[in-house]
Structure 1
Amino acid sequence: MHDSATDALTDVQTEALISHIRTRYHDTHRREFPDLIRLARKVETTHATDPNTPHGLTHALEVMIAELEAHMHEEEEIIFPAARTGAAGLATAAIPGLRSAHDAHEAALNQIAAITHGFRLPLNACRSWRRLYHGLGKLAEDLDEHIYLENEVLFPRLGTQA
């Protein structure tokens, strides 16, 4: 049985979690992806004949950001409002698809890791190439934390482990 103090604390914690996810992850992804795509395009073009060049990286990032943007929009339009209002019914139906999208994001990161040889820089890597791989490493860490918070913390608060 829940008392009103516990319910109020959970509501505050959930609102803080949603705010954290939006500002720390959604906003960060939206802010950082254009630079990663620009750097990937530059590295692929400038080093086109280098066998270490991450050929196909720009395309992989463009596909990933399009899928991630649609996913974040769905969370912002369905999951976050439902979590705020306690209307878990709508969210419950969306969660399996969102979990599946999380799996697809992880697969996209694995593809990017393969294209970049595990984010290993060649000895002759220029500054742009170094910035690109540093940014990709940050993206991988951020996305992993982002997915964890949603799958293991936020979604269960909606009353489902779907």
Structure 2
Amino acid sequence: MSLTTQSDVSLSEQGVGQLVAKDFRYAHIFSQFGIDFCCGGGRSLANACNKANIELSDVMSELKKLERTGQKEDALNQLPVAELIDYIEAKHHSYVREKSPLLVEYSQKMVRAHGEHYAEIKPLAGWIRALVDDLTPHLMKEEQILFPAIRAMGSGETVNACFGHIGNPINAMQHEHDDAARILEKLHELTNDFQPPEHACTTWRVCYATLAEFEADLKQHIHLENNILFPKALALAN
């Protein structure tokens, strides 16, 4: 039997809307479990789990994983901008470049094998291609224009760039992050939240599993840039 700690009790008694306000990443976990944190945001986590007919312990387990991730992010938040950029490029940019061709390959195999029989397959392949086509130049713009400028600012150098204030390319990158998020929403719609049907072949299942992993990495990637790196860069510019 597992023991419930005082911190577990405290967390379970807090309103789900309050928890999301403290850490927006809680929203992703609540959404996965079908917990309403908008209109039902005033309910305690324990009551919300009861209403959704799910085990509080399951949700708590996922929240604790997020807390451990948060400890890692605290360490990342302490990094100088140059080291943070190195981390983003090594972990997340390389991941996108590694997995993107695989997603395209899997989706094209699905089109060839099942495209004429299942209506969702061809649009799925199209949206995967759209996501890859959006992200590929996005990474290059960051690596060749924005990131070098932020690195220079972090070293105390004067940046004389054609884009003017550093906020201009940051805004552009944030808009492109929003575009990627909208494509992910379409992919969720087409794949039933990345849940393959019973008749799915192995490639189909691997494609959906890779998409789910890809989305998780991309959300973390965008979070590090939007909420840690970019604010640091804007602070350097002031």
TM-score band w.r.t. shorter chain: 0.7 to 0.9
For normalisation by structure 1, the TM-score amounts to 0.84
Q: Which residue of 1 aligns with 2:143?
A: 76
Deviations 1:86-144 (A, max 9, x none): 05655322111111111000001111111212211111211111110110001110110
Could you say which structure has the larger radius of gyration?
2
Cα offset, 1:44, TM superposition = 2.2
For normalisation by structure 2, the TM-score amounts to 0.59
The 1-side partners of 2:231 and 2:208 are apart by 34
The 1-side partners of 2:78 and 2:231 are apart by 14
Identity of paired residues, percent?
28
Cα offset, 1:13, TM superposition = 2.6
Out of 188, 191, 196, the position equivalent to 1:113 is 188
Structure having the higher helix fraction is 1
Taking a change above 3 Å as real, the CA distance of residues 119 and 11 of structure 1, as seen in their structure-2 partners, is: closer
Find out whether 1:141 has 2:208 as its counterpart.
no
RMSD of the TM alignment (CA)?
2.0
Runs of at least 5 residues in structure 2 that lack an aligned partner in the other structure: 1-76
The 1-side partners of 2:115 and 2:233 are apart by 48
The equivalences for 1:8-87 within 5 A come to 13-51=80-118, 53-86=120-153, 87=158
Taking a change above 3 Å as real, the CA distance of residues 68 and 101 of structure 1, as seen in their structure-2 partners, is: same
Q: Answer 1 or 2: higher relative contact order, Cα 8 Å, separation at least 6.
A: 1
Runs of at least 5 residues in structure 1 that lack an aligned partner in the other structure: 1-9
Q: Which residue of 2 aligns with 1:4?
A: none
